[in-house]
């Protein structure tokens, strides 16, 4: 007994010198007693070290602050303590590497079990957090399998208070892509502010209980609930997210032998977890009680100088009463924490559902409550003998049991056998105490007849008035109910927000119209627009929908339409009005368009995404949808208030910012939408009538679509703009424009889509068939070219053939790609371009033209010269245009405006004349830009310009017979994120060496051209990555130098 007593007295002395002095006096020269106590203390200290996470200083900071997802953690990507060798090379300078479809932005944190990265998802255009299994653990099978299995289990939890998992990858590097939470941890909040306000405690507690309820419903146990694993998102309405699961649990089999670390946090463990007993859901509830305790008091509930001391207090001691530390804590809340802290799990609250119900019923009550009666007797303070029974009975062996039974970090799926024996009983009928009367739940107010289609469990419609916080609540509730996000970014990079169903007063009252008539009395148009805002009427929108957060930008419009009609751009009609004439205007809203062009944009955008006409897709919002979204629950003149001053610095109007600006530069409205009352007016779907579409059969207009008379060709535009004064920024303001008339420089548009369209519009663009192999030819004669072409059948398909510029003998450079079930093809040589079309009609019955080349012929007029055409069998919607002696550039520009993508730009000069033709394929929705007759220096300048735009080189073709080497080229949007490059001024020897090097690095030449300079052949080469770049490439088809200069 003396040995045990001395051990527990000594272990609470942290200072080594004081502890040694104490033991010298206590042992009184008994060396054997001192040896045994020293052994116990050493074992206890080793347990304490064993339980501490082996984190770097950066990750330790993240652990203190919480989740490694914290955005304010800025670990050095080049930190020598973290190896990122598993990453692929970055796609651009703004990233530090690539992992699958994810571009890695930065390192957020790292620890013994893994690394956390901030990344950009190239498929869905969103930022994510990626957890990567530690490389030393990823090499063994059990951790990898457990990592994937646990992540798959966690992915089943879809709840706003549990971090969302997006993607799971097991090979070659196991990682999980999940929601990136921009905010701080609960631990940070407490460290910064101390004990939280009771109202905030209750809100956080309710959300945590709700998230835990969802996890428990699918059989998951967290096992490491603590403030640093709880994130608070930066948003208007408080959102609490339970995170950090799936990683450490995946490595528990290997943690002892590989990392020397046991994950878990003793101070937040349950007694059964500390003692190594089988766990069930009630273990998480005990941990949650400790979190509640810390929020209320700012102190840990079970404190000691050592880990063993903490575990002992968790098992045996009661925390200091909350009322002594936080007198303002409501008695019912203290009793709630006490019930969660019951040492016996049978005496605790039995489920997260019951816990949530308690908090909902008690925390949100607006009437005083009688003090609840205690639900159980307080746990008595542990005596020294109880301490001894816990740890000393087996000496060091007892401590080993503790070390081996510490629960590991993660939601853990319960085994069926475990579930059958440890499933908690059904929740009792009582909430806190039987003596506490509970009010009957309040019944919802009955909804109007037009809401009777809603299911009983549907959220409440958003009925005006409501504030910003309520707007977000409506959006969140409807998103959760529908199983869709509040916000998403589509394949074009446009962000959308969910707008809930609701009711509002649309238009302007007669009194307000009368007060504003002096503004427009002398103008027929403006007077008609003002008067059309009446009568003010009640509107119900019974269906939720998505609305873009910003107006369509110049860059987005050009990428779909291959043109930019805006006045405010470099070279535009209003360039002189730009506050900075050199400004990049790609993120300005597109303007100067017709309403019909918006419809053409919508059709082409749908085609890009592969959406068929019978599927829901993008559209313009109706006028009613637009005004409801603009108001955001307000009933005032502007969404900012009734006074003009309220609009300043909230919207771009009255030339406030010195002109048009990038979209999203000002404040968002309550629904999270930007520029609804400024920057540019916006077209909506409705036809114009002199009055709103009023329902004749009742007081409420249901889902109005506007006039249906097709003879009405004027269309409505809504919202304010950057130029006109605040009168034009009113929420009810409306004007009209003829649908065929090009608007002025103040009208653009934004997109909407129905909820049903969400899966289609976020679908990534489907890439073309992958290129896995190639064959190439360079410096070849015509006979060598024909021999090479004959050798390709059944293996490769010729893609591009160029004629060398400036060579006294006609030489060819050519590339063919693997035949992936692709075309039966044919190359058609001709001697006279005038007769080349004789077999055109015959060939086009079964093939489509892919490429055309004109050969040089100094003594022959260009229209009578030789050439070749490549025909592919499986292409669709292709055409060739013989421009002949006309200018090629204007013809190609018109082609792209009609949705065509040039594939070949053939041009030759001879005898003082010229001949040109181009081949194009119909690919509406793919932005492209062509240049005819660039010098080599001009071509070299274009490459980085389009790389910065995230476009890629589609093709280039050498011109023939010109006075200096020139190329025609096409750049296009890089929708499938292909890696590409261009080499300039390579000698033939350098090109052959580069060809070998690139082949074995997984690249292939998409297009090769050459020209003579000072008697030496120089090469231009466009490169792209092979689809099988991660595998060893096949040996070359032939010696690259077989056909010499």
Q: pLDDT tens for residues 268-281?
A: 888 888 877 788 88
> Would residue 114 count as lying in a domain?
yes
pLDDT digits (tens, 9 = 90+) for 693-732: 444 446 888 899 888 888 889 999 999 888 877 778 899 9
Sign of CA dihedral 801, 803, 804, 809: positive
HEC letters along 375-414: CCCCCCCCCHHHHHHHHCCCCHHHHHHHHHHCCCCCCEEC
Question: Which residues span the domain enclosing 785?
Answer: 774-1025
User: Does residue 597 share a domain with residue 481?
Assistant: yes
User: Does residue 491 share a domain with residue 365?
Assistant: no
User: Does residue 894 share a domain with residue 757?
Assistant: no
What residues have CB less than 8 Å from 929, skipping those under 6 apart? 562, 896, 946, 951, 970, 971, 972
> Would residue 461 count as lying in a domain?
no
CATH number at residue 685: 3.90.1580.10
User: Does residue 74 share a domain with residue 36?
Assistant: no
Q: What is the CA radius of gyration of the chain?
A: 36
User: Does residue 219 share a domain with residue 82?
Assistant: yes
Averaged pLDDT of the chain:
77
Q: Which of 370, 389, 422 is the last residue of a domain?
A: 422
pLDDT digits (tens, 9 = 90+) for 441-461: 344 556 777 888 888 888 999
> Would residue 1030 count as lying in a domain?
no
CA dist 164 and 179 (Å) reads 5
Predicted pLDDT at 839: 57
pLDDT band at 287 (very low <50, low <70, confident <90, very high): very high
Helix (H) or strand (E) holding 588: none
User: Does residue 806 share a domain with residue 716?
Assistant: no
User: Does residue 828 share a domain with residue 944?
Assistant: yes
Q: Tokens 């009209």 — which residue?
A: 736
Predicted pLDDT at 427: 34
Query: By the 8 A CB rule, do 588 and 566 touch?
Result: yes
Q: Tokens 């631990």 — which residue?
A: 187
Phi, psi of 246 (to 5 degrees): 95, -25
pLDDT band at 985 (very low <50, low <70, confident <90, very high): very high
pLDDT above 70: percentage of residues in the chain: 75
> Would residue 676 count as lying in a domain?
yes
Structure tokens at 697: 């059969």
Query: By the 8 A CB rule, do 237 and 472 touch?
Result: yes
CA dist 207 and 238 (Å) reads 9
pLDDT band at 430 (very low <50, low <70, confident <90, very high): very low
- Indicate the range of 105-114, 351-360, 543-552 predicted with least confidence: 105-114
Predicted pLDDT at 958: 94
Q: What sections of 194-238 are H helices per DSSP? A: 198-217
Predicted pLDDT at 441: 39
> Would residue 433 count as lying in a domain?
no
Predicted pLDDT at 846: 57
- Indicate the range of 377-386, 475-484, 495-504, 800-809 predicted with least confidence: 377-386
CA dist 171 and 38 (Å) reads 48
CATH number at residue 300: 1.10.510.10
Phi, psi of 510 (to 5 degrees): -60, -35
> Would residue 452 count as lying in a domain?
no
CA-wise closest residue to 176 among 205, 206, 151, 213: 151
What strands, in cross-sheet order, belong to the sheet with 545-548?
Answer: 487-489, 495-499, 545-548, 752-754, 618-619
Q: State the helix-helix crossing angle for 554-561 and 595-608, rounded to 10 degrees.
A: 70
> Would residue 873 count as lying in a domain?
yes
User: Does residue 242 share a domain with residue 182?
Assistant: yes
Structure tokens at 771: 């290129």
Q: What sections of 256-306 are H helices per DSSP? A: 271-274, 281-297
> Would residue 67 count as lying in a domain?
yes
Structure tokens at 966: 């020139």
Query: By the 8 A CB rule, do 682 and 717 touch?
Result: yes
pLDDT digits (tens, 9 = 90+) for 529-542: 888 888 889 999 99
Q: Indicate whether 233 pLDDT > 90.
A: no
pLDDT band at 73 (very low <50, low <70, confident <90, very high): very low
In angstroms, the Cα distances linking 136 to 87, 148, 150, 685 are: 15, 16, 19, 58
The three-class DSSP label of residue 211 is helix
pLDDT digits (tens, 9 = 90+) for 616-629: 889 999 999 999 99
Predicted pLDDT at 765: 45
Residue of higher predicted confidence among 439 and 53: 439
CA dist 955 and 965 (Å) reads 16
- Indicate the range of 420-429, 575-584, 976-985 predicted with least confidence: 420-429
Helix (H) or strand (E) holding 993: helix 988-1000
CA dist 650 and 325 (Å) reads 44
What strands, in cross-sheet order, belong to the sheet with 537-541?
Answer: 462-463, 502-506, 537-541, 700-702
User: Does residue 250 share a domain with residue 168?
Assistant: yes
Residue of higher predicted confidence among 593 and 114: 593
User: Does residue 148 share a domain with residue 11?
Assistant: no
CA dist 319 and 321 (Å) reads 6
Residue of higher predicted confidence among 279 and 1012: 1012
Pairing of strands 126-133, 165-169: unpaired
Number of domains, the chain? 4
CA-wise closest residue to 683 among 757, 617, 734, 638: 734
User: Does residue 560 share a domain with residue 638?
Assistant: yes
User: Does residue 118 share a domain with residue 40?
Assistant: no
Q: Indicate whether 505 pLDDT > 90.
A: yes
Q: Indicate whether 358 pLDDT > 60.
A: yes
CA-wise closest residue to 763 among 753, 750, 778: 753
Residue of higher predicted confidence among 214 and 982: 982
Q: Indicate whether 463 pLDDT > 90.
A: yes
Q: Let me know how long the chain is.
A: 1045
Q: Indicate whether 556 pLDDT > 80.
A: yes
CA-wise closest residue to 123 among 485, 490, 487, 486: 490
CA-wise closest residue to 158 among 410, 481, 412: 481
Predicted pLDDT at 586: 85
Q: Tokens 């957020």 — which residue?
A: 108
pLDDT above 90: percentage of residues in the chain: 31
- Indicate the range of 187-201, 425-439, 587-601, 745-759 predicted with least confidence: 425-439
131 is in an annotated binding site: yes
DSSP code, position 320:
P
Give per-residue burial for 443-458: e unless 16+ CB within 10 Å, then b.
eeeeeeebbeeeeeee
pLDDT digits (tens, 9 = 90+) for 899-957: 688 888 888 887 778 888 888 877 766 778 899 999 999 999 999 988 888 889 999 99
Predicted pLDDT at 139: 66
pLDDT band at 386 (very low <50, low <70, confident <90, very high): very low
Structure tokens at 249: 């649990």
pLDDT digits (tens, 9 = 90+) for 310-332: 888 888 889 999 998 888 899 99
Query: By the 8 A CB rule, do 34 and 10 touch?
Result: no
CA dist 686 and 737 (Å) reads 11
Residue of higher predicted confidence among 141 and 956: 956
Q: Tokens 């097709």 — which residue?
A: 710
Predicted pLDDT at 1041: 32
């Amino acid at each position: 007994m003396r040995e045990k007593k001395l051990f527990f007295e000594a272990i609470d002395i942290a200072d080594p010198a004081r502890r040694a002095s104490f033991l010298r006096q206590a042992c009184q020269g008994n060396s054997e007693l001192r040896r045994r106590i020293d052994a116990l203390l050493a074992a206890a200290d080793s347990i304490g070290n064993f339980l501490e996470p082996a984190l770097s200083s950066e990750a330790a900071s993240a652990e203190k602050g919480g989740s490694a997802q914290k955005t304010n953690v800025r670990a050095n990507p080049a930190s020598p303590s973290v190896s990122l060798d598993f990453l692929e090379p970055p796609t651009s300078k703004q990233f530090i590497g690539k992992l699958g479809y994810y571009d890695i932005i930065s390192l957020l944190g790292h620890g013994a079990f893994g690394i956390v990265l901030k990344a950009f998802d190239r498929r869905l255009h969103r930022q994510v957090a990626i957890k990567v299994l530690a490389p030393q653990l990823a090499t063994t099978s059990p951790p990898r399998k457990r990592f994937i299995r646990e992540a798959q289990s966690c992915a089943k939890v879809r709840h706003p208070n549990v971090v969302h998992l997006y993607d799971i990858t097991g090979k070659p590097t196991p990682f999980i892509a999940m929601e990136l939470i921009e905010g701080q941890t609960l631990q940070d909040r407490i460290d910064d502010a101390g004990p939280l306000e009771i109202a905030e405690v209750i809100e956080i507690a309710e959300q945590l209980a709700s998230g835990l309820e969802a996890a428990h419903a699918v059989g998951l146990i967290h096992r490491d609930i603590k403030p640093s694993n709880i994130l608070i998102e930066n948003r208007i309405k408080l959102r609490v997210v339970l995170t950090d699961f799936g990683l450490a649990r995946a490595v528990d089999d290997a943690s002892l032998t590989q990392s020397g670390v046991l994950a878990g946090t003793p101070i937040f463990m349950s007694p059964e977890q500390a003692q190594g007993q089988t766990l069930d859901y009630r273990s998480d509830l005990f941990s949650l009680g400790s979190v509640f305790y810390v929020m209320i008091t700012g102190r840990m509930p079970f404190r000691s100088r050592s880990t063993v001391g903490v575990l002992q207090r968790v098992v045996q001691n009661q925390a200091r009463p909350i009322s002594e530390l936080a007198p303002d804590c409501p008695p019912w809340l203290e009793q709630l924490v006490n019930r969660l802290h019951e040492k016996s799990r049978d005496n605790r609250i039995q489920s997260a559902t019951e816990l949530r119900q308690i908090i909902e019923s008690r925390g949100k009550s607006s009437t005083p409550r009688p003090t609840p009666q205690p639900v159980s007797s307080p746990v008595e303070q542990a005596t020294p003998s109880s301490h001894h029974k816990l740890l000393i009975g087996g000496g060091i062996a007892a401590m080993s049991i503790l070390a081996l039974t510490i629960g590991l970090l993660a939601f853990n799926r319960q085994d069926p056998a475990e579930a059958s024996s440890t499933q908690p009983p059904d929740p009792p009928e009582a909430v806190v105490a039987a003596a506490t009367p509970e009010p009957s739940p309040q019944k919802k107010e009955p909804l109007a007849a037009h809401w009777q289609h809603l299911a009983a469990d549907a959220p409440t419609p958003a009925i005006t008035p409501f504030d910003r916080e309520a707007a977000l609540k409506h959006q969140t509730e409807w998103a959760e109910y529908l199983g869709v996000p509040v916000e998403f970014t589509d394949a074009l990079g446009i962000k959308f927000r969910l707008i809930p169903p609701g009711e509002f007063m649309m238009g302007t009252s007669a009194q307000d119209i009368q007060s504003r008539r002096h503004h427009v009395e002398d103008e027929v148009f403006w007077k008609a627009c003002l008067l059309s805002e009446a009568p003010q009427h009640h509107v119900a929108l019974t269906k939720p929908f998505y609305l873009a957060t910003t107006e369509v930008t110049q860059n987005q419009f050009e990428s779909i339409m291959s043109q930019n009609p805006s006045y405010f751009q470099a070279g535009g009609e209003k360039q002189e009005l730009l506050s900075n004439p050199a400004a990049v205007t790609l993120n300005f809203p597109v303007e100067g368009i017709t309403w019909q062009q918006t419809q053409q944009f919508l059709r082409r955008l749908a085609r890009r995404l592969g959406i068929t006409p019978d599927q829901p897709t993008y559209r313009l919002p109706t006028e009613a949808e637009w005004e409801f979204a603009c108001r955001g629950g307000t009933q005032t003149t502007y969404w900012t208030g009734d006074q003009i001053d309220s609009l300043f610095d909230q919207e771009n109007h009255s030339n406030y910012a010195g002109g048009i600006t990038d979209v999203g530069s000002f404040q968002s409205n309550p629904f999270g939408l930007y520029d609804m009352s400024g920057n540019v007016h916006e077209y909506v779907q409705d036809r114009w009538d002199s009055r709103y579409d009023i329902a004749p059969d009742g007081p409420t207009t249901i889902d109005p679509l506007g006039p249906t008379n097709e003879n009405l060709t004027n269309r409505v535009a809504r919202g304010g703009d950057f130029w006109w004064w605040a009168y034009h920024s009113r929420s009810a303001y409306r004007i009209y424009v003829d649908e065929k008339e090009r608007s002025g420089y103040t009208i653009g548009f934004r997109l909407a889509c129905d909820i049903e369209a969400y899966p289609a519009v976020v679908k990534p663009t489907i890439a073309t068939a992958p290129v896995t192999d190639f064959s190439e030819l360079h410096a070849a004669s015509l006979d060598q070219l024909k021999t090479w072409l004959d050798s390709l059948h059944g293996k490769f398909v010729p893609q591009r053939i160029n004629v060398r510029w400036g060579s006294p003998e006609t030489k060819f450079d050519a590339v063919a790609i693997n035949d992936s079930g692709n075309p039966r093809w044919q190359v058609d040589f001709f001697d006279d371009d005038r007769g080349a079309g004789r077999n055109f009609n015959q060939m086009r019955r079964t093939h489509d033209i892919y490429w055309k080349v004109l050969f040089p012929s100094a003594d022959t007029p260009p229209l009578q010269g030789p050439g070749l055409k490549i025909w592919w069998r499986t292409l669709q919607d292709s055409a060739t245009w013989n421009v002949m002696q006309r200018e090629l550039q204007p013809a190609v520009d018109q082609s792209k405006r009609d949705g065509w993508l040039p594939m070949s730009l053939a041009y030759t000069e001879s005898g003082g004349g010229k001949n040109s033709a181009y081949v194009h394929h119909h690919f509406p929705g793919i932005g492209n830009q062509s240049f005819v007759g660039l010098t080599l220096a001009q071509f070299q300048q274009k490459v980085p310009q389009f790389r910065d735009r995230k476009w890629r080189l589609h093709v280039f073709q050498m011109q023939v017979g010109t006075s200096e080497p020139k190329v025609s080229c096409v750049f296009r949007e890089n929708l499938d994120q292909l890696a590409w490059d261009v080499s300039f001024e390579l000698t033939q020897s350098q090109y052959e060496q580069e060809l070998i090097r690139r082949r074995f690095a997984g690249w292939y030449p998409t297009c090769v051209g050459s020209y003579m300079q000072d008697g030496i052949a120089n090469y231009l080469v466009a490169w792209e990555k092979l689809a099988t770049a991660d595998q060893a490439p096949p040996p070359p088809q032939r010696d690259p130098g077989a056909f010499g200069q």
